[in-house]
Structure 1
């Protein structure tokens, strides 16, 4: 780590319907030395994603404050959504951008976790490079059972207890998964039946059939992930979003499996299931090295603007912090 080190943090909050709550959470994260690069609110998944970057200590402080505000405003006992979650501030990943390593980000994640518990009483699970146990490296293993299941499991099973705090989860805010990782790209592709009217509402197939196709495609992607030469580092689930069938993916190693390869593979798999890819969306930002101008995936990504979606470019043109 050096004086010019820059890290990114992409906290995910379990609220996407109430804009004022999300705005208040983002506003609480304003800290000197931190740039707000992106924030989005997804009512369908009932989830919001914020992207910040800056000096390591400042970004840690910003993220911790966001977790505290989320714990104050979000009640998981009254919340539901498509996306898996264990906490009001569900996941808080720290990502190296320049002048710093993943291992150093893991140390920062541990510091953040301790502050989250000490200040706000929200227990923490460490995952990714910050994991203290091999069975917590994968985020999906940490989130098994979601808030409702984990709330019970943490009390009866010592192996499910938080790394910091607990054993009880916070009564309303649950727990937060805090970690360190390399760059992750959140990429969604919608599918439709050939001959659809273009809105994704295909008159030929009922929604039950479309979501079944989406889940089958996601299963094939996961099968490819574990086979030689397959979609390494690509996690996928099939969901309904905005009344349309969607393949929701996390690309954890875009250098090993570039975006163009992911789009081509999903398109091929979709055709085998009698459907086609219609359009895509990016949640958050992508690194410059993942951007492939004039590629099919860029053309099919709704509203794609490289100046707004590429991290290195956005660092020079950050957003204004919202006012709560």
Structure 2
């Protein structure tokens, strides 16, 4: 039986579509590999690729994509709304079919080791692959961002798992195994970033909010609005509708409204089903009632 692992690499390029396409080309037309989705955002200056495949094919494609990103992206001139520390900022592996978290952890270690040996890009292992408890949370690893990373990795506490020299052009990459994550953003009808930051503080776990929510305020300058940008790290325990309703409530305190939301990348079907159940008040709903679930069998 085929082993399938999902990977969602994030690259620090969201403005030059030619560069994005060249990076994504590494995932196209490959045996035992399927490119599911890729999206980019100019304000974040970031692209997110979603690909699934057998471990060896996935490993090869990811390493080649990092090489392309290293050639095309110069972090010394990079700027964007999203926190970042490298040209290839983060590479998560997620078990999908006939695979375990342990296999994803092993794959992450193999990839991290090769990125250093082949490209001299320092690598941190994070989430379930983390070599120490203080390295599990990606935001803690990324704190200081690219600009502060050269100094940070000299500290004993923050020495990379692979590599010991800062790569000035490509920065640092985080590689790890994790559970499915939903990138969920809520837009507000104001250009005041302070309001988005204050609301983010109310909903994110680190500030006393929802346990499985990471959040920050982001400016969407081309639209003249701001958003609460979230990573929902376990949608089964903190549902999308919970943070959405909390943001609506907090927005009223500041005299602003929610004007929309977005999903970045792919989303597990049940994350949306849970939200539909809540808003429609559906009783005793079962996943077997979803037509597409039978078509996929």
Give structure 1 regions of 4+ aligned residues with deviation exceeding 4 angstroms: 296-299
The 5 Å alignment of 1:168-187 reads: 168-187=165-184
Q: Secondary structure at the match of 1:85?
A: coil
Change in CA separation of 1:293 and 1:134 when aligned onto 2, cut-off 3 Å: closer
Q: What is the CA–CA distance in structure 2 between the aligned matches of 1:118 and 1:94, rounded to whole Å?
A: 20
Deviation at 1:153, TM superposition (A): 2.1
2:201 touches 2:207 (CA, 8 Å); kept in 1?
no
| Stretches of structure 1 lacking an aligned partner (at least 5 in a row) | 193-201, 300-311, 317-324
Q: What is the CA deviation profile of residues 260-302 of structure 1, one whole-angstrom value per residue up to 9, with x for unaligned ones?
A: 2221222122223322211011110011221228839999xxx
Kindly indicate whether the alpha-carbon contact (under 8 Å) linking 1:292 and 1:298 is maintained by their aligned counterparts in 2: no
Residue 137 (structure 1) shift: 0.2
| Distance across 1 between alignment mates of 2:250 and 2:180 | 25
Q: Is the Cα contact below 8 Å between 2:212 and 2:234 reproduced in 1?
A: yes
- Give the TM-score of the pair, scaled to structure 1: 0.81
2:239 touches 2:274 (CA, 8 Å); kept in 1? no
1:17 and 2:3 correspond:
no
CA-atom RMSD, angstroms?
A: 2.2
**What is the aligned partner in structure 2 of residue 76 from structure 1?**
75
Unaligned runs of 5+ in 2: 281-291
Give the whole-Å Cα distance in 2 for the aligned partners of 1:87 and 1:79.
10
| Distance (whole Å) between structure 2 residues aligned to residue 17 and residue 118 of structure 1 | 29
Does residue 288 of structure 1 match 2:269?
yes
Shift of 1:99: 1.6
Task: Please tell me whether the aligned partners of residues 280 and 297 of structure 1 are also in contact (alpha carbons under 8 angstroms).
Answer: no
Partner of 1:322: none
CA deviation after TM superposition for structure 1 residue 249, in Å: 0.2
Alignment counterpart, residue 187 of structure 2, candidates 145, 165, 190: 190
SS at match of 1:292: helix
How many Å apart are 1:8 and its aligned residue? 0.6
The aligned counterpart of 2:42 is 43
Query: Any idea what SS the aligned residue of 1:274 has?
Result: coil
If the length of structure 2 is used for normalisation, what is the TM-score?
Answer: 0.88
Match of 1:161 among 144, 148, 159: 159
Q: Corresponding residue for 2:121?
A: 122
The partner residue of 1:237 within 173, 196, 216 is: 216
8 Å CA contact retained: 2:241, 2:275: no
Q: How does 1:221-232 map to 2 (within 5 A)?
A: 221-222=203-204, 227=208, 231-232=210-211
Aligned residue number for residue 91 of structure 2: 92
Q: 2:284 maps to which residue?
A: none
Q: Which residue of 1 aligns with 2:286?
A: none
8 Å CA contact 2:70, 2:169 repeated in 1 = yes
Task: Return closer, same or farther for 1:273/1:59 CA change in 2, 3 Å cut-off.
Answer: same
Q: Which residue of the other structure, out of 3, 6, 13, is the alignment partner of 1:5?
A: 3
- When structure 1 is superposed on structure 2, of 240-249 and 10-19 the one drifting more is 240-249
- Report if the CA contact (8 A) 1:186-1:251 is conserved: yes
1:211 aligned onto 2:193: yes
SS at match of 1:214: helix
Q: Which is bigger in relative contact order (C-alpha 8 A, separation at least 6)?
A: 1
Distance 2:81 2:236 in 1: 29
